[in-house]
Structure 1
Amino acid sequence: MGALRRFGLAAATAVVLVPLTSCDTGDPAGFKQNAAPQPAPPAQTLELTPAAEQKDLPVSTEIGITVANASVRSVALADAKGRLLSGQMRPDNSAWIPDKPLDYKGRYSVTVTATDGRRAITKSTSFTTMAEPQRQVGTGMYLFDDHTYGVAMPVVVEFSEQIPEKSRAQVESRLFVTTTPAQPGVWHWMSGRQVTYRAPEYWKPGTVLSVRAALKGLPMGEGRYGDDDRKATAKIAGEKLELVVKNSNKHIDVFRNGKKVRSMPVSLGKASTPSSSGTMVIMDKQESTIFDTTGEPGDQYRVQIQYAQRLTWGGEFIHSAPWSVGDQGNRNVSHGCLNVSPSNAVWLFQNTHVGDPVTVKGTGVKLERGNGFTAWDLSWKEFVKGSALPVPQELLEPVPAVAPSPSVSATPSVAVPSPTDSIN
């Protein structure tokens, strides 16, 4: 019986092995499976602007790119001599921007390749640029290469003529700011002749600001074009210095990184010529300058002033005023400036930067919008409303206005106008 059982087991095993051996040599009926058909990959599309052989285009022309089911791998823009131009994609990948403006009356060809990682698609186009326009708008930027500024220094671009509202979005789209470390910001049109950029809060100490106003040849409305392409790379100081001026006690408190390090008496504007209340920014510093009011209404004189730091275009400065030392800390006698003693004026001059914030409180007269670098006198909620372009949702959330801490523990630029302040 045992032998039969062993035989039966062996026979059963043999029966099972036969079809397994057959599977190694073919697909017997009952074992073959039909593979599911693979869907065709989605079609790739790539469209470029300008369209082929367009003529008389601005030298600010960008290469517009519309791509589907692929990503841009390369952009090759060449001039008539075959020289390749460098450039960068916009953050939203909608266009490729040359690093420099194109030449007037130049011919260019461009080839763009996009890929999904398996397949590639390539398109080409060509175009020519216009002759140099006769009507050009002067541009300037209040930022100098290799300079160090205070934490409240805005990026300010000015124009010699009014930019119509309908043209401001296009102008704003050609203003680029890169910060290291990253601190996203927004542009705000103070007027048709000035646009200002800042972040929700003061720049972090040590930030590097790289700015390009890519405006050469850019249409600016009414048949006018931008005059130049301007760049600057500057640094923010390694400390946050803030000045707080209170009319109530007639003192200037100086905060360094949130800690009060000095307090000094001051005399502000008298009742007939009050100082402005609001957050200003030191715009310019002159160790010695001339205040000249001849030909202006009111007091007229021409006098030399020491250690002057400009706060407004209207002529408000912090400066040395030895003639009012007895009034400083007690009464206001100036024409709007902040009078300090010679020794305090020297200390401030040696410790402050262009771009440091100065907040004046309690004078009863509000700082006029655009009278100096007034970006920080607006709340963030107000500031973002001044952009001509849509503001990203993540930047729309209101941020508390930046206030000084209560703690007690490349490039050509528009020249700063000569001081025309009354003696203060």
Structure 2
Amino acid sequence: MVTIVLLAVLVLSGCTDGGGASDPATESVAPKDPLTIETSVDDGASSVPVDTVVTVDGFDGQLSDVTLASQDGKSTVAGDIRGVRWTAEEFLEPGTPYVLTAVGTGDDGKKVTSTTRFTTRALTLDEQTYPAVAPLQGETVGVGMPVIVSFDLPVKDRAAFEKRMKVTAEPATVGGWYWLSDNTAHWRPKSFWKPGTKVSVDLALNSVPAGGGVYGQQDQHVKFTVGRSVVSVVDTKRHQMTVKIDGKVRRTIPVSTGDASHRSRNGTKIIMEKHESIDMDAATTGVDSDDPGYYNLTGVKYAMRVTNSGEFLHAAPWSVASQGNANVSHGCVGMSTANAGWLFSKSKRGDVVRYVGSPRRLEPANGWTDWNVSWGDWLEGSALQGDADAA
């Protein structure tokens, strides 16, 4: 009887040892994997499109550093690591050899470095459109100044470009883009700038597809400041100009404007250019030298252009007798040399000059005519259809 009991105990003990947990000291550990790095561009690739967004993925580990730079080291492409992927934040330069270096650590604890070399497709100047910006870097402008971007080749994909064209301001200012053509876009505030506003224009257009096999040639970054408010009103019927500076009338000036055959145009105009002295040839406005209305004046002082068609504010000592009582010019606003010099000294690009009293209307795009477009119509001129931003 005793023998049977002991045997049963031994049998039970044997079953327990065979089915219990394994000894940690003798358990085998699965090996951890090394880091695998994959790039979106093949090593040795040539003619890589300039609008390629380069990515790097790291599997079975973590990327710690990725650099993408031209082979000569003169330019780098910024990027950001999120999760297992690094993504470039910029497009590529044409016809450029690049070196892509990725570094990370695998789950096995070992460091891995991957190097990829490739070259982008070369582009001719006929395949690149250059963005020129006004105002100029560091310029102080008037409260009516628009941001003007001019392209030397047409932009067919306006929306793709506009998404990368940013205007920011301090204080924040509501405004929007308006495309006059495939070659020109303007940004203006909903109402005149507040004096003292600091404005930044950032065009991230380098290598952005413009359509038709054309790409953006360059980014642009321009900062400018809005100066004090100078707003003038030219009353063509009363033959006078009232000049307000920061909202206060500073001077009322007798003037002569366009005669019955050459009416000055009604509307809100912007000072586009300033010249202490300029030659004025009527031929540049389409008047033939045989025309009775032809003129060729040299050394006209204190001239400020307000239309493409040739309207200026300027000194006109030859018409002083008519200033304040008759319109005898070919469309320009003439005043005494003293008054013209005073106005010239107070004015800058972007100042506002509003014309009233004339039966002739200002044509669209005959100068910087942005303020003659209603805000609703202005928003419709955006390639993004009415998206207004607080700059």
Q: 1:276 aligns with which of 244, 265, 278?
A: 265
CA distance in 1, matches of 2:159, 2:246: 37
Q: Deviations over 1:125-176 (max 9, x none)?
A: 9975321234133432222112211111111011234433xx1112222322
Give yes or no for contact 2:272–2:305 (8 Å, CA) kept in 1.
Answer: yes
Tell whether 2:98 aligns with 1:107.
Answer: yes
Counterpart-to-counterpart distance in 2, 1:148 and 1:174 = 24
| Alignment of structure 1 residues 122-133 onto 2, 5 Å | 129-133=120-124
Maintained 8 Å contact 1:292/1:303: yes
Instruction: Deviation per CA, 1:225-272: give whole Å up to 9, x if none.
Output: 3333333221111x2111111123121111122221211111111121
Contact 1:52 1:127 in 2 (8 A): yes
Secondary structure in 2 matching 1:264: strand
- For residues 125 and 236 of structure 2, the distance between their equivalents in structure 1, rounded to whole angstroms, comes to 52
Structure 2: distance between partners of 1:101 and 1:332: 58
Q: Is the CA contact (8 Å cut-off) linking 2:151 and 2:184 kept in structure 1?
A: yes
| CA distance, structure 2, for counterparts of residue 372 and residue 327 of structure 1 | 27
Q: In the alignment, what sits opposite 1:287?
A: 276
Is the CA contact 1:188–1:386 (under 8 Å) kept in the aligned structure 2? yes
Q: Do structure 1's residue 346 and structure 2's residue 335 form an aligned pair? A: no
Deviation track 1:329-388 (CA, whole Å, cap 9, x = no partner) reads 211111111111111100100001111111111211221111111111212111111000
Are 1:159 and 2:148 matched, yes or no? Answer: no
Partner of 1:18: none
**Whole-angstrom distance in 1 between the partners of 2:65 and 2:147:** 30
Give me the whole-angstrom Cα distance separating, in 1, the residues matched to 2:169 and 2:77: 21
Verify: 1:235 aligned to 2:225, yes or no.
yes
In structure 2, give the amino acid aligned to 1:267: S
Structure 2 gaps of 5+ residues are 1-38, 57-63, 81-86, 105-115
Q: Deviations over 1:70-118 (max 9, x none)?
A: xxxx9955225596846599xxxxx9744x963533436498x9xxxxx
TM-score for the superposition, normalised by structure 1? 0.66
Cα distance change on mapping 1:394 and 1:137 into 2, 3 Å: closer
Q: Which residue is 2:200 aligned to?
A: 210
How far the C-alpha of 1:392 sits from its partner, in A, is 3.5
Structure-2 residue corresponding to 1:148: 140
Separation in structure 1 between the aligned mates of residue 136 and residue 389 of structure 2, nearest angstrom = 30
SS in 2 for 1:220: strand
Partner-residue secondary structure (3-state), 2:211: coil
Structure 1 residues not aligned, in runs of 5+: 1-49, 66-73, 90-94, 114-124, 396-424
Paired letter, 1:235: T
Give the alignment partner of residue 303 of structure 1, picking from 297, 304, 308.
297
Q: Deviation per CA, 1:23-75: give whole Å up to 9, x if none.
A: xxxxxxxxxxxxxxxxxxxxxxxxxxx9554874554656799xxxxxxxx99
Greater share of strand: 2
- Structure 1 pair 229–341 and aligned structure 2 pair: CA distance change class (3 A): same
- Is contact 1:58-1:217 (8 Å) kept? no
The answer (yes or no) to whether the contact 1:293–1:300 under 8 Å persists in 2 is yes
Q: Percent identical across equivalent pairs?
A: 35
| Partner residue, 2:13 | none
Q: Please give the alpha-carbon distance, in whole angstroms, between the structure 1 residues aligned to 2:180 and 2:122.
A: 32
Equivalent AA in structure 2 for residue 220 of structure 1: A
Equivalent position of 2:30 in the other structure:
none
Aligned counterpart in structure 1 of residue 250 of structure 2, from 261, 270, 276: 261
Alignment counterpart, residue 354 of structure 2, candidates 359, 383, 390: 359
Q: Mean alpha-carbon deviation: is it higher for 330-339 or for 383-392?
A: 383-392
In structure 2, distance between residues paired with 1:175 and 1:110:
30
Count of matched residue positions in the alignment of Structure 1 and Structure 2: 320
Q: Find the partner of 2:365 among 355, 367, 370.
A: 370
